[in-house]
A and B are shown apart, each in its own frame.
Chain A
Amino acid sequence: MLYREAGQFKTSYVADSAIFPLRQDRIGLGLIIVAAYALAFIGNSFLLQAVMIPFLVFSLASIGLNILTGYTGLLSLGTGAFMGVGAYACYKLMTAFPEVNVIVWILMSGFFSAAIGALFGLPSLRIKGFYLAVATLAAQFFLQWCFIRIPWLVNYNVSGALDAPLRTLFGTPIMGPNATPQTRYLVVLTIVILLTWLASNLVHGRIGRMWIAIRDMDLAAELMGIRPLQTKLLAFAVSSYYCGVAGALLVFLWYGGAEYDVFNINQSFFILFMVIIGGLGSLIGSFFGAALIFILPIVLGIVLPAMLSPFGISVGADVIEHLRFMIVGALIIFFLIVEPHGLARLWQIGKQKLLVWPFPY
């Protein structure tokens, strides 16, 4: 009853092309953002550190990959490496110029991965589909090799690992061992909201239309005057920018330090999972996908032992781990069969049902 569009008239073109045409949607979004900020003050540190921060970071990376795979239709398996470029660039920048605020460097580091991403995006003009996916694996393995072999990237430190130095914002530590999960969560949340808003404007505007045209039929798009080279490379650059920022956030605001191994091929696949389960070509789907793929295993890890114990089955941690793999795998297949267009599509259907409720149509 509350979710009705009756009585909301669009009287201008601006109102007609709004991203959230329904007043209820705008209120709902505002409530979610307020709740997300409020969570920083009411949530405990486990929830913030182990669930919310990584969830937001992975959402950001998924948005990045979604721009490339969902909107432009270019399959990439190099996400992990592009995230790594962002993290290493951020580390170099903030240790070389410690006086500049670290937030600036986190946002700047994305540009380095954007440049690398555009470089490895060059083959996309000639090849597509799975051939392109395998070609992006070259980026994944080559960049990972660079992370190991070039000690300059970690300032020649002996451990070869990235570590988060102490950095402050308005006098409060936001990075390094002294930063509380609360402040880090707020920083990550703000950056993710900002970049999501930017992405939403990009994909709904002229650039987004160009990407979608390339995805749907690149030959036709070219005939309509969209330049495929620039458009595809732009998609690679923007996508890598998001992945790079996500990588920097991942290492410095979540882990607090990491080795090259964080950015391995599994990370790339992990992000791809989120994008496809969430819904290709949907920003909100990126959040759904990240939630499902990241939070589901955590929930299973807590729920499974509780579910099995009443039957007198007490199982070791390793068996739980194996069962988790099996259940996640089975659920991926299940979701694909039930709704191949991802969770975002389910969300759409749900909203439509709500609009017409209590009538069937």
Chain B
Amino acid sequence: MDILYKVFIEPFVFMGEAPDLLIQTLWEGLVSGVLYALIALGFVLIFKASGVFNFAQGIMVVFAALTLVGLYEKGVPAFLALILAALTMLVLAVVVERVVLRPLVNQPDIILFMATFGLTYFLIGFGELIFGGNPKEMITGALFLPQGTTELDMLGGMVRFQHLDIAAAVIASIMIGLLAVFFSKTRIGRALRAVADSHKAALSVGISLNQIWVIVWFAAGLVALVAGIMWGARSGVSFSLQIIALKALPVLILGGFTSIPGAIIGGLIIGVGEKIGEFYWGPLVGGGVETWLAYVIALLFLLYRPQGLFGEKIIERI
């Protein structure tokens, strides 16, 4: 009975007793959820348009952030460095499309997945060769990202909001909004959705697949750049950021590989669930549950809905 009490009653009592802590935890969960969603978005963009499960998204985040910081350290003004970093992602997109995707067209999914592994290895080596393997500080000041914290008095306690977190949430939301508009209102966005629905049908109405792939990889690169700036500002720019990209995977299966709203809502569920689980239930099993809790949440969802929350229904025929 004691264990049941500890699992099912005590954490809720604790939540009720200290609502300020609950809000703090929720806020932290929301912020990391938004950032997970941002990384997951990069995956979704590419998966939708080319059916490639892009494992290199994590290293693209690191690579974009490293390019930005590395250029700044070489004396390039911050905003010029930002533009140059974005251009680097464009070049990367073109190169990937020419060298990796085009020769591998029409191969099984797992082969393309594997190719993005090769890309990951290449980018790790390339990034370290050029910018060195040491962790770097994100140039928050030069990019005019706010610093410091606000403490709000609420519900009998102080809740701390990092300005950076607020900025991250706002920027990520704007980014997601822009992508949504881009997808639904522009000509290219419509072409992207057509490609996502059917490659053959899209080709037959004159949409260039190669062009679309470059655009999509570039968009994923831009998302990676923003994610890199935000994550870099929170935990430094180093190759260990890659691991965070793995956190985007449960978000993906929760939301469905092909759904942008799914990525956002999945990100929020995972972010909040993870923080709440770690804070209230983690101590029961010795802490550190953050590393796998997200996967277990996602797995439970999957058993109920195998295609994720918003994924397209999988119809199979013999």
Q: How far is the CB of A145 from chain B (nearest CB, A)?
A: 5
Q: How far is the CB of A74 from chain B (nearest CB, A)?
A: 11
Which residues of A sit under 8 angstroms from B125, Cβ to Cβ? 321-329
Which residues of B sit under 8 angstroms from A265, Cβ to Cβ? 246
Q: Does A113 reach chain B (CB closer than 8 Å)?
A: no
A142–B296 contact, CB under 8 A?
yes
A131–B286 contact, CB under 8 A?
no
Given contacts A149-B285, A265-B246, A326 and B121 within 8 Å (CB-CB): yes
How many B residues touch A, CB cutoff 8 Å? 49
How far is A330 from B95 in the complex, measured between Cα atoms in Å?
13
Q: Please report which residues of chain B, range 104-124, place their CB below 8 angstroms from some CB of chain A when the two chains form the complex.
A: 104, 107-111, 113-115, 117-124
A329–B306 contact, CB under 8 A?
no
B288–A280 contact, CB under 8 A?
no
Residue in B110, B128, B307, B316 whose beta carbon sits within 8 Å of that of A276 in the complex: B110
Q: How far is the CB of B311 from chain A (nearest CB, A)?
A: 8
Which residues of B sit under 8 angstroms from A337, Cβ to Cβ? 100, 103-104, 115
Q: Please report which residues of chain B, range 272-318, place their CB below 8 angstroms from some CB of chain A when the two chains form the complex.
A: 285-286, 288-289, 291-292, 295-296, 298-299, 302-303, 306-308, 316, 318
Complex: chain A residue closest to B96, CB-CB: A333
Which residues of B sit under 8 angstroms from A169, Cβ to Cβ? none
Q: Does B252 reach chain A (CB closer than 8 Å)?
A: yes
Q: Interface digits, B50-71 against A, CB 8 Å rule (1 contact, 0 not)?
A: 0001000000000000000000
A127–B302 contact, CB under 8 A?
yes
Q: How far is the CB of B247 from chain A (nearest CB, A)?
A: 10
Which residues of B sit under 8 angstroms from A137, Cβ to Cβ? 246, 249-250, 295
Which residues of B sit under 8 angstroms from A62, Cβ to Cβ? none
Q: List 11 A-B contacts (CB under 8 A).
A: A127-B303, A130-B53, A138-B296, A149-B286, A219-B318, A220-B318, A323-B125, A326-B125, A329-B118, A330-B122, A340-B111
Please report A residues at the B interface, Cβ cutoff 8 Å. Answer: 69, 75, 123, 126-127, 129-131, 134-135, 137-138, 141-142, 144-145, 148-149, 217, 219-220, 223, 265, 269, 272-273, 276-277, 280, 318-319, 321-333, 336-337, 340
Please report B residues at the A interface, Cβ cutoff 8 Å. Answer: 53, 99-100, 103-104, 107-111, 113-115, 117-126, 128-129, 133, 246, 249-250, 252-253, 257, 285-286, 288-289, 291-292, 295-296, 298-299, 302-303, 306-308, 316, 318
